[in-house]
Amino acid sequence: MQSYLKSLLEQRQQQALYRSRYVHHTAQNPLLQIAGQTYLAFCSNDYLGLAHDPQVKLALQQATEIYGVGSGASHLISGHTVAHQQLEQDLARYTQRERALLFSTGYMANLGVISALLTRHDAVFLDKLCHASLVDAALLSRAQLHRYVHNDMQNLEYLLSHSSALHKLIVTDGVFSMEGDIADLLTIVQLAKKYDAWVMVDDAHGLGVMGETGRGSLELFHLTQKEIPILMGTLGKAFGVFGAFVAGSEVLIETLIQFARSYVYTTALPPALAVATSASLAIAQVAHERRMYLHELIAYFRQCALQQQISLLPSFTPIQIVVLGDAEKAVAVSHALYQEKILVTAIRPPTVPAGTARLRITLSASHQKGQIDQLVEVLARSLLSIGAISGSSKTGILI
Ligand SMILES: *Cc1c(COP(=O)(O)O)cnc(C)c1O
């Protein structure tokens, strides 16, 4: 085994795909301490700065006094407390749905939903750039798996019209985690109606951030439970805590409680985390100023990048992407930024398709404009030094 694993690792290294972890000492914050040095980070999904919010921290501390730490068992045995029950009600209200069900992580929520709803007689239609957990979930369900070209509604329609599966489920990210763009939900809903398909949206990166009250991608398009019966959201990103949920009809939620194996066969979240999440949700719901400021920062970043002739994928979400192509190139730029005490991760295959390695910059309401100036200045210099921008030509700008 050792020599086989070593050969796998060597191969990864040769392809510039080897991953390693930064070890830092700090709360989620734009300034991270790594080995005694301060780094300015643009890679957290803590979009609203709630991961270190004093009220959320206090809620966690107080709830720990009441509930202790561990939940002790799964939800169906003895792990389900009033704290979990309250958070589920808060999430249902926040998403304007009949009910919500907590899962321990987003990965597990996706596995649980798709494998509970579909069998080998059914078909699942997945955007090619859907999150890895959705792909794994579709495989686990054993339904026929169809992947459509990213946001290509003609391709989706073609696949739907050629399917004779018993049940059809269309699955998409709301905001795409490695692109920053948004699914064409209005067309998806129309196609679902036309071909009698169900729709599931994973809005891990939309909730809390997009829409006037932070209800995510669905709020942008004014879509409700009727059009999008299955909504999945995570609690470890904009809400700054941990865990995930699915929201939808009473019948959907009861079905998941009975049949979602990643719900049934796992320990419930610590109850104090549920209390902290309720506190965070209450803040997120009225965090209009934080959201407006975040969107101002996004526009500011794009404007500064444009001035420096840095090509960005089209995106008005906090996820901003510089595609570089080669994994080596992406790693080189990320490394150059690191040398200048700026943290931006290189995203490489298999997380993104081969030949589209990229820098993923995430912005947060805890960033300041001066920090964006700093990022853009160093980024432009690093891109110039590897020849990724020419310094004068305007070609290749995708704004
Ligand atoms: C992060 C993420 C998940 C997984 O959520 P976790 O709670 O981190 O397991 C699922 N889907 C998308 C789109 C994500 O970005």
Q: Catalytic pick from 75, 237, 329, 367?
A: 237
Could you confirm whether 168 is annotated as catalytic? no
Could you confirm whether 237 is annotated as catalytic? yes
Residue 390, pLDDT score = 67
224-230's contacts with Cβ under 8 Å and 24+ in sequence apart are: 224/96, 225/96, 225/97, 225/98, 225/249, 227/189, 227/192, 227/199, 228/185, 228/189, 228/199, 228/200, 228/201, 229/198, 229/199, 229/200, 230/113, 230/117, 230/198, 230/199, 230/200, 230/201
Q: Catalytic pick from 177, 280, 364, 382?
A: 177
105 lines ligand 1 (CB under 6 A): yes
Residue 391, pLDDT score = 57
Locate 20 and state its tokens. Answer: 């390693």
Could you confirm whether 205 is annotated as catalytic? yes
- Which atom of ligand 1 is found nearest the CA of 130? 13
Q: Return the number of other C-beta atoms located less than 10 Å from residue 42's C-beta.
A: 25
- pTM of the full predicted structure? 0.95
Locate 39 and state its tokens. Answer: 């780094």
Rounded to the nearest angstrom, the distance between the alpha carbon of 105 and the centre of ligand 1 is 7
104 lines ligand 1 (CB under 6 A): no
- Which atom of ligand 1 is found nearest the CA of 110? 10
Classify burial at 1, counting beta carbons within 10 Å of its beta carbon; exposed 0-12, middle 13-18, buried 19 or more.
exposed
Q: Which pLDDT tens digits describe the chain residue by residue (399 residues)?
A: 999 999 999 999 998 889 989 899 888 889 999 999 999 999 999 999 999 999 999 999 999 999 999 999 999 999 999 999 999 999 999 999 999 999 999 999 999 999 999 999 999 999 999 999 999 999 999 999 999 999 999 999 999 999 999 999 999 999 999 999 999 999 999 999 999 999 999 999 999 999 999 999 999 999 999 999 999 999 999 999 999 999 999 999 999 999 999 999 999 999 999 999 999 999 999 999 999 999 999 999 999 999 999 999 999 999 999 999 999 999 999 999 999 999 999 999 999 999 999 999 999 999 999 999 999 999 999 999 888 776 554 444 444
315 lines ligand 1 (CB under 6 A): no
CB of 248 within 8 A of CB of 112?
no
d(CA 100, CA 381): 47
Residue 388, pLDDT score = 78
Q: Which residue do the tokens 């509930």 mark?
A: 67
172 lines ligand 1 (CB under 6 A): no
Euclidean distance between the first and the last CA atom of the chain, given in angstroms as a whole number: 48
Residue 75: its H or E element: none
- Assign 32 to helix, strand or coil: strand
Q: Return the number of other C-beta atoms located less than 10 Å from residue 367's C-beta.
A: 23
Amino acid at 38: T
Rounded to the nearest angstrom, the distance between the alpha carbon of 363 and the centre of ligand 1 is 17
